[in-house]
Amino acid sequence: MTKVTLTVNGRTMSGECEDRTLLVHFIREKLGLTGTHVGCDTTQCGACVIHMDGRSVKSCSILAVQASGSAITTIEGLASQGELHPVQAAFKEHHGLQCGFCTPGMVMTAVDMINRHGGSLTEEKVRTELDGNICRCTGYHNIVKAILAADAEMASGRQAAE
């Protein structure tokens, strides 16, 4: 057993685990943050996407020990003081989720996408950037719509702040 220490959603958290433990299982089972999901075993569906040191990654394909020392943001850490993040709000507004299982990964992906391409997203670009996330419920239509709306909303927020 190895001790793994992470800064998760701003709080330092540790736990003991086997070296073979995947980061996603550590987060779900040791830290009790079950919002991050596992939908496949071949690094494809993206239900497990989190941010590690500011980069969006698939936590099903990283060992917890590999991540030790990193700063992690999970879906639980996105809303602040009960206020939904603009991406979360846009998913609700545009019905960008149905069963909710792929949703945490989709939202974390969308936040990262807007961080990297904020203000310049097009429908085509959003669809390409969703390459690593599979949704079986929505046909992606409303997910794409929600991400574009959140991008516009956040861009206008940035402009207002400037």
Contacting other proteins within 31-90 (CB under 8 A): 33-47, 49, 55-58, 60-63, 65-66, 74-76, 78-79, 84, 88
Task: Say how far apart CA 153 and CA 81 lie, in whole Å.
Answer: 20
- Residue 45 to residue 30: CA distance in whole angstroms: 23
Minimum distance, C-beta of residue 92 to other proteins, in the bound complex (Å): 4
Give the nearest distance from C-beta 14 to other proteins in angstroms.
16
- How far apart CA 80 and CA 88 sit, in angstroms, is 11
Q: How many residues bind other proteins (CB under 8 A)?
A: 78
Q: Which is nearer to other proteins, 60 or 154 (CB)?
A: 60
Q: What is the DSSP letter of 60?
A: G
Closer to other proteins by CB, 55 or 158: give it: 55
Give strand pairing partners of 23: none
CB 85, min distance to other proteins, A: 9
Ramachandran class of 67: left when φ > 0, alpha when ψ lies in -120 to 50, beta otherwise = alpha
Instruction: Kindly identify the residues of this chain, within the stretch 108-147, that bind other proteins according to CB under 8 A.
Output: 109, 112-113, 123, 126-145
Tokens 């793994």: give the residue.
4
- Indicate the residue among 84 and 159 with the shorter CB distance to other proteins: 84
By the rule CB under 8 A, 26 interacts with other proteins: no
Query: Which residue, 84 or 155, has its beta carbon nearer to other proteins?
Result: 84
Q: In what order do the strands lie in the sheet with 49-52?
A: 11-17, 2-8, 71-73, 49-52, 55-58
Return the residue matching tokens 């494809």: 44
Beta carbon of residue 5, minimum distance to other proteins (angstroms, whole number): 13
Minimum distance between the CB of residue 41 and other proteins, rounded to whole angstroms? 5
